[in-house]
């Protein structure tokens, strides 16, 4: 009996592998048009973050020249982070893809999301914001994004941080409580010098990334740049001219 179920399982896996080899991968956005990356129609549903402030990531109606920071943050940005690089608004199709990739630890969707990461220009070590302890097995989105960036730019990937404990859910807290919630959340297990590009999937309050950056700065890091896939929109963001 055990042998026959193993045979059935083996045949099923073999059939799946044959099908994967024979059939073209589909777009993870619509599951209809060819993939594996997002098809042109699905890409049109993404909203790029236009002219983000390089200190805090807030979108602007026009590029910032001098000073290169917005009136909202006045150059202060996030503690420990010298620059923010962010690609997209966290809404619509992209929000759905990020949510489902994280909920089901879906590697094909994560790999597609990795192709949407903004480019970086610095010579730096790439460090992902690490997973919380106790999360279930499977790929971790920020780590997949960081690995892609490192490979794409020929830069070293260093999994330098460890998360000490599970923080309370940030979106339920106000700004002050968010900072306290993540204080001492990260420990540096491999000190890294020079410039670091810290990689995460989402920028919301900035408190988690700031705590990770401060932990790196307390060790050997000279400068931390935050690179994120998407930013959670705020009610006071400029509204016009976002869609491609």
Site residues (CB under 5 A) for Zn ion?
27, 29-30, 33, 39, 42, 53, 55-56, 58, 69-70, 73
Rounded to an integer, what distance in angstroms lies between the CA atom of residue 227 and that of residue 229?
7
Q: Which is closer to Zn ion, CB of 167 or CB of 227?
A: 227
* CA 16 to centroid of chain Cα atoms: 30
Written as six digits, the tokens of 193 are 């010098």
In the complex, least distance from residue 119 CB atom to Zn ion, rounded to whole angstroms = 20
In the complex, least distance from residue 32 CB atom to Zn ion, rounded to whole angstroms = 6
Rounded to an integer, what distance in angstroms lies between the CA atom of residue 202 and that of residue 166?
17
Q: Which is closer to Zn ion, CB of 46 or CB of 142?
A: 46
In the complex, least distance from residue 43 CB atom to Zn ion, rounded to whole angstroms = 8
Q: Which is closer to Zn ion, CB of 29 or CB of 128?
A: 29
Written as six digits, the tokens of 8 are 């059935």
Rounded to an integer, what distance in angstroms lies between the CA atom of residue 57 and that of residue 203?
8
Q: Which is closer to Zn ion, CB of 169 or CB of 236?
A: 236
Closest CA to 186 of 168, 206, 204, 213: 213
In the complex, least distance from residue 69 CB atom to Zn ion, rounded to whole angstroms = 5
């Amino acid at each position: 009996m055990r042998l026959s179920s193993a045979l059935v399982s083996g045949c099923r896996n073999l059939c799946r592998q044959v099908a994967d080899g024979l059939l073209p991968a589909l777009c993870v956005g619509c599951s209809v048009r060819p993939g594996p990356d997002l098809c042109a129609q699905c890409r049109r549903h993404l909203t790029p973050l236009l002219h983000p402030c390089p200190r805090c990531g807030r979108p602007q109606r026009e590029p910032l020249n001098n000073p290169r920071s917005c009136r909202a943050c006045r150059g202060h940005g996030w503690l420990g982070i010298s620059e923010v690089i962010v690609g997209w608004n966290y809404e619509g199709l992209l929000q759905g893809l990020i949510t489902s990739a994280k909920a089901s630890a879906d590697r094909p969707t994560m790999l597609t999301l990795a192709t949407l990461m903004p480019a970086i220009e610095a010579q730096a070590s790439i460090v992902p914001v690490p997973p919380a302890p106790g999360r279930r097995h499977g790929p971790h989105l920020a780590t997949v994004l960081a690995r892609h960036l490192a490979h794409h730019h020929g830069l070293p990937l260093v999994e330098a941080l460890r998360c000490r404990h599970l923080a309370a859910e940030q979106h339920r807290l106000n700004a002050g409580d968010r900072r306290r919630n993540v204080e001492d959340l990260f420990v540096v297990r491999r000190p890294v010098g020079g410039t670091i590009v810290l990689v995460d999937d989402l920028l919301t309050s900035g408190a988690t990334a700031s705590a990770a950056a401060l932990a790196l700065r307390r060790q050997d890091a000279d400068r931390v740049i935050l690179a994120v896939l998407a930013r959670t929109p705020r009610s006071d963001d400029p509204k016009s001219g976002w869609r491609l």
